Structure 1
Amino acid sequence: MALDCSRVWLVTGTSSGFGRRLVPSILRRGDKVIATARKIDTIQRIFTPTDSLHLLELDISAEEATIKLKAQEALKLWGKVDVLINNAGYSLKILAEDATLSDFQAQFQTNFYGPAALTNALLPQMRSRREGTIVMIGSRSSWNPIPCHVNMPGLAIYAASKAALRVYSETLAQELSSSGFPNIRIGIVEPSGFRTEQNVLGYPMQVPTDADPAYDLLRARIQTNLEALDLNQSGDPDKAVEVIVDAVRGEGQAEGKEWPLYLPLGRDANKGVETKCVKMLTAVKDWKEITDYLDIDEECV
């Protein structure tokens, strides 16, 4: 019997966007996929299960115990998960002052707490095999929440949730490497705007009934910009997912490259990261002659 060397991928949020496109890309490479979605019927209409494809209902916003049970169910299918793609998420568009604590909690539950819970549920089996790959689908917005090409605030909570995911992932990567698990790789993919069927009007600007009119002009401008952007994003999602799969498998466009802890996707993503880095370096330079000398018994020079 031939040895089956195919990888097993678990991809969340496969009913649309990157997730929907990742599934066929992975299968074409000869690997196996556990495709998940919050409601199983949303992917049953898209994918037909095969010997290499299993469909699993997994609501990433569920309680931790439920996510753990789903992770165990996934592990029983082929005995392992080699690659976890934490892709499921959504973007709440609301002004920071308009948001309630419930808004923050809902956004973070799906974009941060859920992925963290699923990661923790699958990490023990990766550590037992001393290898694995975990890819977090973050966002350019975590670096610069106002897109470079359009003046569109309103992403404060979404950007904050993706920034939390990034910093958590950075720390997790360091903890694994420092504990003798360098072959468990963490990757943070940070896309700019890509044109998928998940159009922005599916998540319109949220305005509370008691909204302060001081922000009315800004809210109206944001909604106008959202409608203008709808299905006009410049990014090609099919090209993007090929880069992700290439990077995980170390082939194609990624052949010969080191594993990327960070992988911005698209010009706006690259520009957003560059802009933030320049801004931070400027802040350090402007205050360095003061803030470098704050140790005990040390005077500024």
Structure 2
Amino acid sequence: MGSEESSQLVWLITGTSSSFGRELVDIALARGDQVIATARSVKRLGDLPKTPSVRLMELDVTAGSDVIKRKINEAVTWFGRIDVLVNNAGIAARAIAEEGGSQIFMENAKINVLGALDVTNAVLPQMRARKSGTIVMIGSRSSWKSEVETLAYYSSTKAALRVFGETLAYELDQFSIRVLIVEPAAFRTWSPNFLTPSITPVKISDYNPLRDGSEKKVAVIHGRQPGDPRKAMELVVDVVRGEGKAKALLEKYGWPLYLPIGKEAEDAIREKTQQIGHVLDVWGDLIRDTRLDEEAT
């Protein structure tokens, strides 16, 4: 973003009624930036600071691309541009995979993936026109290693969000638009609803021990997550703005694309890459021995 890294930025943040989104609003304002804070209901944003630097927008990320484009086009007029989009709105509808089926999967995908896609596409035209901008995807450590067994759908959609972000980064590089894939570990951001498993049409008794164990695990984790959401989002803002703790690393190594946050995220990613590396080492000869035979000459 060139010289904009040290100047006032305009942020549009989805899902600002709680957790990471709420922290980002406060931190961006403290850095002197302007914020368009969104939520499904602006009534839930009533306690945000009353300042000209904040505008509130009711935005349901599942409303469809046409509705979202109209909303975003209006939002752009408020501060004249959007420099940073943070796709933070998310849901963790939990269920045993065989019990939940495609219904529960889509509950997650509509917000975690399709919603992020529609909001991103609505913001991109004005970023492309200026050849400047940053798209932040709030993913999850769970896409590398699920915290509890009933998070298959949530984990899958967060993995899809990461791959979408990777491809998007490649496509947008020509316009000097950056993508940052943030993958937090266990932070104290869960809402009480996260403790409640989704209602599924059937309960398969074979899964009772696994389901019961999962609920106990969630109950133990809730309220004891080691991560501080404020520190996590301070780091995100440091990276986006090119300052603070991130400044020296950005100057030395450049833009990171990936930003795992929390030791548990680091551990999960290292474990997964080691597992994949082991498979490549053991099965490498067979993996490579799959090309078409040379045609007889």
TM-score relative to the length of structure 2: 0.92
The letter of the residue matching 2:162 is R
The letter of the residue matching 1:267 is K
Q: How many angstroms does 1:70 deviate by?
A: 1.2
Distance across 2 between alignment mates of 1:194 and 1:268: 10
Distance across 1 between alignment mates of 2:220 and 2:294: 55
Q: How many angstroms does 1:12 deviate by?
A: 0.6
Residue 281 of structure 1, aligned match among 257, 268, 277: 277
The CA RMSD over aligned residues, in Å, is: 1.6
Q: Deviation string for 1:137-184 (max 9, x for gaps)?
A: 000011112x3xxxx31111000100000001100101122xx22x21
Larger mean Cα displacement after TM superposition, 128-137 or 206-215: 206-215
Q: Does 1:224 align with 2:216?
A: yes
Q: How does 1:184-203 map to 2 (within 5 A)?
A: 184-196=177-189, 198-203=190-195
Q: SS where residue 90 of structure 2 aligns?
A: coil
The letter of the residue matching 1:253 is K
Q: Structure 2: any 5+ residue segments left out of the alignment?
A: 1-5
Kindly indicate whether the alpha-carbon contact (under 8 Å) linking 1:201 and 1:230 is maintained by their aligned counterparts in 2.
Answer: no
Q: Does 1:242 align with 2:213?
A: no
In the other structure, the counterpart of 1:173 is: 169
Residue 207 of structure 2, aligned match among 204, 215, 222: 215
Q: Does 1:39 align with 2:51?
A: no
The letter of the residue matching 2:59 is L
Distance across 2 between alignment mates of 1:57 and 1:203: 26
Q: How does 1:70-219 map to 2 (within 5 A)?
A: 70-145=71-146, 147=147, 152-177=148-173, 180-181=174-175, 183-196=176-189, 198-206=190-198, 208-219=200-211
Q: How many angstroms does 1:298 deviate by?
A: 5.5
Q: Structure 1: any 5+ residue segments left out of the alignment?
A: none
In the other structure, the counterpart of 2:59 is: 58
Distance across 1 between alignment mates of 2:121 and 2:143: 23
Kindly indicate whether the alpha-carbon contact (under 8 Å) linking 1:138 and 1:190 is maintained by their aligned counterparts in 2.
Answer: yes
Q: SS where residue 92 of structure 1 aligns?
A: coil
Kindly indicate whether the alpha-carbon contact (under 8 Å) linking 2:93 and 2:194 is maintained by their aligned counterparts in 1.
Answer: no
The letter of the residue matching 2:235 is V
Kindly indicate whether the alpha-carbon contact (under 8 Å) linking 2:16 and 2:25 is maintained by their aligned counterparts in 1.
Answer: yes
Q: Deviation string for 1:206-265 (max 9, x for gaps)?
A: 353521100011111111111111111110111111000000000000012222200000
Distance across 2 between alignment mates of 1:49 and 1:259: 34
Kindly indicate whether the alpha-carbon contact (under 8 Å) linking 1:205 and 1:222 is maintained by their aligned counterparts in 2.
Answer: no
The letter of the residue matching 1:191 is P
Q: Does 1:17 align with 2:9?
A: no
Distance across 2 between alignment mates of 1:36 and 1:112: 17
Distance across 2 between alignment mates of 1:204 and 1:298: 58
Residue 253 of structure 1, aligned match among 245, 250, 255: 245
Larger mean Cα displacement after TM superposition, 164-173 or 256-265: 256-265
Identity of paired residues, percent?
44
Q: How does 1:282-297 map to 2 (within 5 A)?
A: 282-297=278-293
Q: How many angstroms does 1:5 deviate by?
A: 4.3
Larger mean Cα displacement after TM superposition, 112-121 or 57-66: 57-66
Residue 267 of structure 2, aligned match among 268, 271, 294: 271
Q: SS where residue 85 of structure 2 aligns?
A: strand
Kindly indicate whether the alpha-carbon contact (under 8 Å) linking 1:201 and 1:226 is maintained by their aligned counterparts in 2.
Answer: no
Kindly indicate whether the alpha-carbon contact (under 8 Å) linking 1:61 and 1:114 is maintained by their aligned counterparts in 2.
Answer: yes
Distance across 1 between alignment mates of 2:18 and 2:36: 15
The letter of the residue matching 1:21 is E
Q: SS where residue 84 of structure 1 aligns?
A: strand
Question: Number of residue pairs matched?
Answer: 286
